[in-house]
Structure 1
Amino acid sequence: MSFILIVIPVFIILTVGFAGQRLLNLDIKSISTAALYLMLPFLAFQTFYENDLNMDYLYILLFCVLLLFGLILVSFIAGRMTNRPHSKTPAFVLAGAFMNSGNYGVPVILFAFGETGFQYAVIMMVIQSLLMNTVGLYFAAKGSKSGGTLKASLVKILKMPVLYGSIGGIVMQIASVSIPDFIYNGMNLIASAAIPTIMLVLGMQLASISKKNVKMKELSGVILIRMVISPVIAYAITVLLSLDSLLASVLIVLAAMPTAANTTMFAVQFDTEPDLVSFSTLVTTSLSIITVPIMIMLFS
């Protein structure tokens, strides 16, 4: 029951976004742009600024990089098997390689593994945020219909304020810079609006999906990568690195989380197969009600 209570708020926000789009036919791109350019930079800053860097980061960083590399490789293979590899491959990477380890994964880990597991989950959330706001943005830009060259993709990344929010948070955390409460409280208000807005955008995008743009074969491939292959690769990495059993269990369960909602926002912003990415997020989130408890039973 506790696990279901964690998931319910996600579906409430998705439903509001879905209903709002059906009734009002809002401009999804404008709301997505506001979230990406105005809200997400403050959330990224807050994430890095509030979490102390320590040696645990090195082990979890190595795990995350190896997992991401493995999932990108699998996604490339899957994307090349489609009829439009230019846009499909980056979409497979977005939907398959980036999990919802933050607003979904962290409370699940707290429920299943307690305070120590929670601390590990927060560290992974921070690292995943950094990877998503760099590598994830790169693949979103690469799959854009307006141009996917390396130079064009890097230029688009450098124009993203979320990158500088992340860097600013890291620098000020390392330098132990104290921000006055009257300023930081305002920043936190903007940051706290990011996740609900992203979930609303996801719900709105789901209401606008054209079924002909989402093929069952491609959707099945993403689900397989995200829900099955990802935890298998994660397990292999934890064995390779000889990680502590609790840390290994936390990382494996987090690797089985559904597709991150941020990927929908990136896909909408850069027009990188937004229907496939958003529908993958919905389906994997729905399936996680069954799959994540199984993972917890196996590894808790």
Structure 2
Amino acid sequence: MTGLLSAMQGFFVIAVIIVAGYVTARMRIGGPSAQMVLNKVSFFVTNPCLMFAILSKEPILEIFHSSIVVAFFSALTVGLLFLLLNRLFFHMGAADATVGALNSLYLNSNNIGLPIATYILGNPALVAPILVMQQAIFTPIALTVLDITTSGKTSAKRILMQPLHQPLLIGSLGGILISALAAKIGYYPIPKFIYDPINILGQSAVPMILMAFGMSIYGTTPLQNKSARPAVYTVTVLKNVIMPIIAFLLAKYVMGFSGKVLYACVVLAALPAGQNVYNYAARYKAGMEFARDGILLSTVTSPVCIALIAALLS
């Protein structure tokens, strides 16, 4: 019960920062472009620093824990389910459908995943495989599709060069490389005076993204677009209900996990959609309202789902 209460406190902290962004926009601090500036700075600077700082310090074997198999296939399944449902019922364009798929499968592994892993699961390193999976696999694919569908240009060279345009992936791969090197030589090779500024920049990523998300709420009414509501509800159910069920089935009956590992797989699968999805949507100006509503609704319902999982499995 203590761990669950601590996790709810983590959700409260996140809500306060989102409200701070909302108040900032309401008071017109920073002007009308403040939200977009925060999005761009977090996309190109602070998020890559955060990924590098976290992964470079993480033991390489923890980064590639076998639970990544559960995280990958449960996320892939709900993403494909959304695309199928979109084709049958929602009929969104390619860019908006990509945002919807990301909203369904992308876990908030930083802002909420780290405190949940710390307060409920007792091991923040459990989110490391999810960080790698999302940044090395799903994010480059999704952003390549967004890049092509929003620019109207495509070529083999453009697709192959796409990972070089993903600062998050570059930061993540750099962190993994340093982690592997540290395991090989027996000590952390980055001097403190170099690591510290990277880490300080990275620490600003979470509040920056959350504040930008809060700014996006001001002046808009959630779920105002009635035609998009079924898709938003679908995303939330896929993310907070279907994905944990799939994770449970895979972890228990395919991977043979039990105890704390099984519990961790299911709890992490119930994390809400990550604010990074809105960051990507804003970056490519595709499905921004849809992304915001899906993140907001899944963030509101996620604590309830995690509480139920804790009651059933902890």
TM-score, normalization: structure 2? 0.85
SS at match of 2:60: coil
- Quote the offset at 1:160 in angstroms: 2.3
2:185 alignment partner in structure 1: none
Aligned length: 297
**Equivalent residue for 2:20, pick from 13, 16, 21:** 16
Matches within 5 A, 1:11-160: 11-24=15-28, 25-27=31-33, 28-54=35-61, 57-80=64-87, 81-115=89-123, 118-141=124-147, 144-147=149-152, 149=154, 151=156, 155-160=161-166
Structure-2 change in CA distance of 1:62 and 1:3 (3 Å): closer
Residue type of the alignment partner of 2:237:
L
Once residues 14 and 32 of structure 1 are traced to their aligned partners in structure 2, the CA distance between those partners, rounded to angstroms, is 14
Q: 1:237 to 1:147 in 2, by over 3 A?
A: farther
The whole-number CA distance in structure 1 between the counterparts of 2:234 and 2:213 is 20
- For residues 117-139 of structure 1, give each alpha carbon's deviation from its aligned partner in whole angstroms, at most 9, with x where no partner exists: x4434444444444454344335
Q: Secondary structure at the match of 1:54?
A: helix
> What are the Cα deviations for residues 158-206 of structure 1, in whole angstroms up to 9, with x where unaligned?
2222222122111122112511111111111101011110111111122
Secondary structure at the counterpart of residue 90 of structure 2: coil
Letter in 1 for 2:92: R
Contact 1:78 1:89 in 2 (8 A): no
CA contact (8 A) 2:104 2:235 kept: yes
Looking at structure 1, the residues matched to 136 and 143 of structure 2 have their Cα atoms a distance apart, in angstroms, of 10
Select 2:280's aligned residue among 266, 269, 290: 266
- CA distance in structure 1 between the partners assigned to 2:168 and 2:244 by the alignment: 28
Matched, 1:190 2:201: yes
AA in 2 matched with 1:217: P
Is contact 1:253-1:299 (8 Å) kept? no
The 1-side partners of 2:255 and 2:235 are apart by 27
Report the Cα distance in structure 1 between the residues aligned to 2:181 and 2:14, rounded to whole angstroms. Answer: 35
Distance 2:210 2:160 in 1: 26
8 Å CA contact 1:45, 1:168 repeated in 2: yes
Which shifted more, 63-72 or 181-190?
63-72
C-alpha contact (below 8 Å) 2:44/2:167 kept by paired residues: yes
**Aligned amino acid, residue 104 of structure 1:** I
* Letter matched to residue 237 of structure 1: L
Query: Structure 1 residue 219 and structure 2 residue 232: aligned?
Result: yes
**Cα distance, 1:11 vs structure 2:** 0.8
- Partners of 1:112 and 1:33 in 2: CA distance: 32
Cα deviations by residue, 1:227-254 (Å, 9 ceiling, x for unpaired): 1111111112112121233211101111
1:221 Cα shift?
A: 0.9
Query: Displacement, 1:140?
Result: 4.2
Q: Is the 8 A contact 1:79 1:85 kept in 2?
A: no
2:100 and 2:155 map into 1 onto residues whose CA distance is 18
Q: Is 2:180 aligned against 1:174?
A: yes
CA contact under 8 A between 1:227 and 1:257: conserved in structure 2? yes
Residues 162 and 146 of structure 1, relative CA distance in 2, 3 Å threshold: same
Structure 2, unaligned stretches of length 5 or more?
Answer: 183-187
Q: What secondary structure sits across from 1:59 in the alignment?
A: coil
TM-score, normalised by the number of residues in structure 1 = 0.89
Is the Cα contact below 8 Å between 2:6 and 2:120 reproduced in 1? Answer: no
SS at match of 1:175: helix
Closer/same/farther in 2, CA of residues 58 and 149 from structure 1, 3 Å limit: farther
1:229 has 2:242 as partner: yes
In angstroms, what is the RMSD of aligned CA positions? Answer: 2.4
